Amino acid sequence: MKDKQYQVVIIGGGTAGITVASKLKRKKLNLKVAIIDPTEHHYYQPVWTLVGAGAFNMQDTIRPEKDYIPKGVDWIKEYAEDIDPENNLVTIKNGDKYSYDYLVVAPGIKIDLSLLDGLTETMDKNNVCSNYTNPEYTWEVLQKTKKGVALFTQAPTPIKCGGAPQKTAYLSADYFRKNGLAKDVKTVLALPGSVIFGVKEFADTLMQVVYRYGMILKFYHKLTKIDAVNKVAHFTLTATDESNCIITVNDDDNVIHEEIVGEAKVTIPYDMLHLAPPQTAPDLVSKSLLAHKEGVNKGWMKVNQFTMQSPDYFNVFGLGDSAALPTAKTGAAVRKQAPVIVENILRLMDSKDILPESKGYNGYSSCPLVTGYGKMLLAEFGYGNKRMSDSLLSTFVDTTKEQYSMWLLKKYGLPILYWNFMLRGKA
Ligand SMILES: Cc1cc2nc3c(=O)[nH]c(=O)nc-3n(C[C@H](O)[C@H](O)[C@H](O)COP(=O)(O)OP(=O)(O)OC[C@H]3O[C@@H](n4cnc5c(N)ncnc54)[C@H](O)[C@@H]3O)c2cc1C
C-alpha cells in the first residue's frame, strides 16, 4: 500500500543526498522531494584529519541536519530498510512505504569493525585510534606517545578518502618532530598497495615527505588482526616474491623489530596504532536488487560510471560512497557527481534523453594530502588515475608541491565552500 508519493526520494542526507536535493530544488522549485535519513547531525568529515592532529575543533565539524534540509523538501527521519525498485517503493524502519518516480541512493559507507580480527574490542581504546571513528581520541593518543612505534595502516577493504590514513601519518611525524620526539618515536606507514599514491606526480612528492620525516614505509602489508593485549598488529604480505622484502624505506636495520612469522605473515609491535577500519557498502544497498552480486564490486551499488544511472532501473541513480565507481570515494567526487544526476533526472522528467556518457561524470576526485602542519598538496585525478587540475588553482599554484596556501584552503576555504555553497546547491 502506498502511504506517500514523491517525485524524487533521496536515501541519505549526507554530503551527497543534501547536495542533490539542494540542486534539484534550485533548478525546479515545485518538485516534490523527500530525504530519508534519521541523523540529527551533519558532519564535515574531511577536517577530521586536522582534528586528529589538534589543528581543528571537532565541534566545528558538526552542525544540525535540520539546518541543511533544503526548504520545501520533506525530511523523513528514519532509516530506509528496503528498496523495491520493481515497484518504485522504499520501506523505512517503522514499516511505512514511500513511492517515487525517481530514486537517488546515497546512504554512504558502513564501518564494520567485525571484519578485522580483534578490532571490535579495542577500537578507540588502548592507543588504537582512527580519524574515521573518533578523531579526538587520535589527538589524545598522539599527545601521549613519547617513544616506541607509531604505526599507521588501513584495512584491506575499499575506504572513503583513501589518502586519509597517510595524511595522519605525516601530521603525526611532524608533531613528533616539532616536539623533539622524532628520535624516540618511529613513524611507520604500512600500506596494502604497491605505491604510495596512484598518480606519479603526487607519489614523487610524497616519497620526499617520507624521507624528510625519516618514516618507515612498508608496502604489500595487508592488515589481518590486532592483538591489543600484546599491542601487536598482524599482517600478511600480499606479494610474496623476494622483491617485496626490498620495498621498505628507512628500515634497513629493522629498528622496529618487525618479525617474519611463517611464510608470509608479519607482525609489528606498536605503541600507537592509527588505522582506517574495514568499510563496506551499507546492508540496505548490498541486499537490494541494485547491488553488484559478484566480483570485486560485490555489494556496492551498480551504476553507469558516467551517467550515474542504474543499468537495470532507468529511474534509479546512485552516488557518493556507496556507489561502485572506479575512483576515490570523496566529498570532492560527490560535488562533480551530483550535477550529472540532477541534470539526468530533470531531462527524464521532460521526456528527454539523459546526458551522453561523454558529457557525464569523468571520475573526478581529489585528495587534499596534508603533509605536515601548514603543508599540503592537492591531488586531483579522474578515471584511470589521470591527473586533473582545477584550471583556476593550477594557474596560480603547483598543486603537486607542498604549499602553505593549500593548507589554508583545507583549514578555512573548503569548510566554507562545503557548508555555504556545496550543501546549498551553489557549488
Ligand atoms: C577521516 C576522513 C577524512 C576525509 N577526508 C576527505 C577529504 O579530505 N576530502 C574529501 O573530499 N572527502 C574526504 N572524506 C570523505 C567524505 O567525507 C565522504 O566521501 C563523503 O561524505 C561521502 O558522502 P555520502 O553522502 O556518500 O556519505 P555521508 O556523507 O557519510 O552520508 C551518508 C548519510 O546516509 C545516512 N544513512 C546511512 N544509512 C541510511 C539508511 N539506511 N537510511 C537512511 N539514511 C542512511 C547517514 O546517516 C548519513 O547522513 C573523508 C572522510 C573521512 C572519514
**Distance from residue 48's CA to the centre of ligand 1 (Å):** 12
| Residue owning the nearest CA to atom 30 of ligand 1 | 108
Q: Give the pLDDT confidence of 16-35 residue by residue, as tens digits.
A: 999 999 999 999 999 999 99
The H-or-E segment that residue 334 falls in is: helix 331-349
DSSP state of 237: E
Predicted confidence (pLDDT) per residue in 263-291, tens digit: 588 999 999 999 999 999 999 999 999 99
Q: Which atom of ligand 1 is nearest to the CA of 79?
A: 42
Query: Within 10 A of 279 (CB to CB), how many other CB atoms are there?
Result: 20
Q: Ligand 1 pocket: which residues have CB below 6 Å? A: 11-17, 36-37, 39, 45-46, 48-49, 79-80, 106-108, 131-132, 160-161, 164, 282, 284, 320-321, 329-332, 334, 368
Ligand 1 center to 244 CA (angstroms): 34
Beta bridge partners of 370: 376
Give residue-wise pLDDT tens across range 38-56: 999 999 999 999 999 999 9
Options 155, 161, 266, 369, the catalytic residue: 161
pLDDT above 90 as % of the chain: 87
Q: Cα(102) to centroid of ligand 1, in Å? A: 22
CA angle 82, 75, 17 (to 5 degrees): 70
Least confident of 211-215, 303-307, 381-385: 381-385
Note whether 4-109+281-358+413-422 and 113-278 share their fold: yes
One of 3.30.9.10, 3.90.79.10, 3.40.50.740, 3.50.50.60 is the CATH number of 113-278, namely: 3.50.50.60
Nearest ligand 1 atom to the CA of 335 is 11
Residue type, 38: P
Residue with cell 617474519: 260
User: What is the average pLDDT across 283-312?
Assistant: 98
197 Cβ contact partners less than 8 Å away, ≥ 6 residues apart: 163, 203, 206, 369, 379
Residue 385 vs residue 22, higher pLDDT: 22
Quote the pTM value: 0.94
Per-residue pLDDT, 253: 72
Pocket test for ligand 1, best of 283, 285, 330 (most atoms within 8 A of CB): 330
pLDDT value for 235: 95
What's the fold here for domain 4-109+281-358+413-422?
FAD/NAD(P)-binding domain (3.50.50)
Residue 173 and residue 213: Cα distance in Å, rounded?
6
Confidence at residue 245, expressed as pLDDT on a 0 to 100 scale: 45
Q: Ligand 1 centroid vs 177 CA: distance in angstroms?
A: 32
Residue 3 has what pLDDT?
A: 55
Domain positions in the chain = 4-109+281-358+413-422, 113-278
Q: What percentage of the chain reaches a pLDDT higher than 70?
A: 94
The H or E element containing residue 36 is strand 33-36
Q: Are 11 and 284 in contact (CB under 8 A)?
A: yes
How far is 352 from 375, CA to CA, in rounded Å?
47
- Average the pLDDT over 217-239 and give the result: 93
